[in-house]
């Protein structure tokens, strides 16, 4: 088992439908570290860190999202640990303010 960090951009009808809260709840349930936030362009951005397979499962789940969301695209990039420093102090997974 090895650890991985991925930066993910999700586009579609993903704001105003509980997508951020769904990401945070799902990621925490899977034991992942990271964060999620809305972007002013209407997309959702997230960083996931954890075991390879668990991160891959989370990214697959992002293609579906909560039932009222419509996901058009999920763009995944490798990321470094520096992105994890954006989390709120003391939290394993954070919901961050919109940028």
Which structural domain range is residue 61 located in? Answer: 3-87
Active-site option among 6, 20, 37, 87? 20
The side-by-side arrangement of strands in the sheet containing 44-51 is 70-78, 3-13, 44-51, 33-38, 93-95
Establish whether 38 is a catalytic residue. yes
Active-site option among 6, 37, 38, 87? 38
Residue 1 has pLDDT above 90, yes or no: no
Phi, psi values for residue 44, rounded to 5°: -120, 140
Assigned domain for 12 exists:
yes
Nearest 5°: the CA angle 68, 73, 57 is 80
Establish whether 20 is a catalytic residue. yes
CATH number reported for the structural domain that contains residue 14 in this entry: 3.30.70.100
Number of domains in the chain: 1
Assigned domain for 92 exists:
no
Phi, psi values for residue 2, rounded to 5°: -130, 160
pLDDT in tens, 31-86: 999 999 999 999 999 999 999 999 999 999 999 999 999 999 999 999 999 999 99
Q: Which residues sit opposite 44 in a β-bridge? A: 10, 38
**41/32 Cα distance (integer angstroms):** 26
């Amino acid at each position: 088992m090895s650890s991985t960090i991925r930066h993910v951009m999700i586009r579609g009808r993903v704001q105003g439908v509980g997508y951020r809260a769904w990401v945070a709840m799902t990621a925490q349930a899977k034991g992942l570290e990271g964060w999620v936030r809305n972007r002013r362009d209407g997309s959702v951005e997230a960083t996931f860190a954890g075991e390879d397979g668990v991160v891959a499962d989370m990214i697959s789940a992002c293609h579906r999202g909560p039932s009222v969301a419509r996901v058009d695209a999920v763009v995944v990039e490798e990321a470094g640990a520096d992105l994890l420093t954006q989390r709120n102090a003391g939290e394993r997974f954070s919901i961050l303010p919109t940028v």
